[in-house]
Amino acid sequence: MRVLVTGGAGFLGSHLCDRLLQDGHEVLCVDNFFTGSKSNVQHLVGAPAFELLRHDVTLPLIVEVDQIYNLACPASPVHYQHDPVHTMKTSVLGAMNMLGLAKRLGARVFQASTSEVYGDPEVHPQPESYWGKVNPIGIRSCYDEGKRCAETLFFDYHRRHDVSIKVARIFNTYGPRMNPEDGRVVSNFIVQALRGDDITIYGEGLQTRSFCYVDDLVDGFVRLMNSDVSVTGPVNLGNPGEFTVRQLAERVIALTGSSSRLVFKPLPQDDPRQRQPDIRLAEELLGWEPLIELDDGLRKTITYFDGLLSGKSTAGAV
């Protein structure tokens, strides 16, 4: 098939492009390079089945494809809060443009949603049936509410126009090709540890997160996209293993052999206290569960960042 991946030069998108090419598809990678990087897909440029196009999904796109993965949107607080209006436009207008394209082509379309739709949850772990607790006017709202609106659009297009949709709610994911300046907890801790800097923990470090290695997540994407037409989602994709932020920091220090100290700063506004996916639906409908243990995934990610910081080539690193 010919497959469109928006946000294809980003962290997740580039790994998805790798997987789709390995599976024998043609890939049209679309990115405006706000947070994506050409270096993430440089190893694919020149491949006969790969095409790279600079484009912003807030504008209509006229192409011919069989499937659409809509991953375009800044996903870290540092990046999505940089231009919150454009973040919201990317989620909402991007969804509308990709849904319109899917409707015209009769193509199946996948939405990369997020665990942020659950906000600061009062239900733990979070099942897909939980509607969430989200601040609609906070500093994270451009992302949280943008993704919630995108889900609404997907299901309205499905009900009204019979568009074949797939919606995944992504929980914290890590791995090679993360942006070292994205402000996410895994990349922050690894970069700080490798540099020997203090490791910054917000609050007391008792807030919990669940960390899924990128290869596991991409496998979930592909399984969901190619599942029975009756499976629309939303489906949680993430690793149900739950760790405190402090535990993560201590693991990174141990694995890097760093002498970094832990320093504590005030918790940001609306930062969730707990985040853990209930993945029973993914297990039942997709036969999917993450396979890579946290320490194994962290070692691969540390190797990537060590090469990046030392100036060694990391193009195509997995």
Tell me the domain boundaries of the chain. 2-174+213-239+275-291
Average pLDDT of the chain is: 94
Which pLDDT band, with edges at 50, 70 and 90, does 127 fall under? Answer: very high
Residue 99 in contact with residue 157, Cβ under 8 Å? yes
pLDDT, position 79: 85
Rounded average pLDDT over 72-93: 91
What average pLDDT does this structure show over 18-33? Answer: 98
Task: Say yes or no to pLDDT of 316 above 80.
Answer: no
Q: How confident is the model at residue 312 (pLDDT cuts 50, 70, 90)?
A: low
| 290-300 mean pLDDT | 97
What DSSP element (H or E) covers 78?
Answer: helix 77-80
* Average pLDDT value for residue range 245-267: 94
Whole-angstrom distance, CA of residue 28 vs CA of residue 308: 27
Asked if the model's pLDDT at residue 30 lies above 90, the reply is: yes
Write the pLDDT tens digit of every residue in 149-167.
999 999 999 999 999 999 9
Amino acid 286: pLDDT: 98
Could you tell me which residue, 269 or 77, shows the higher pLDDT?
77
pLDDT class of 217 with cuts at 50, 70, 90: very high
d(Cα 276, Cα 279) in Å, to the nearest integer?
9
Name the DSSP letter for residue 23: T
Listed range (17-21, 75-79, 170-174) with the worst mean pLDDT: 75-79
Above 70 in pLDDT, residue 292?
yes
**What value, to the nearest 5°, has the Cα angle with vertex 69 and ends 82 and 170?**
60
Per-residue confidence at 306, pLDDT binned at 50, 70, 90? very high
Question: Of residues 143, 157, 213, 304, which has the active-site annotation?
Answer: 143
CATH of the domain spanning 2-174+213-239+275-291: 3.40.50.720
Mean pLDDT for 131-159 is: 96
The question of whether 202 is a catalytic residue gets the answer no
Q: What is the mean pLDDT of residues 48-75?
A: 97
pLDDT of residue 75: 85
Q: Percentage of the chain surpassing pLDDT 70?
A: 97
Does pLDDT of 111 surpass 70? yes
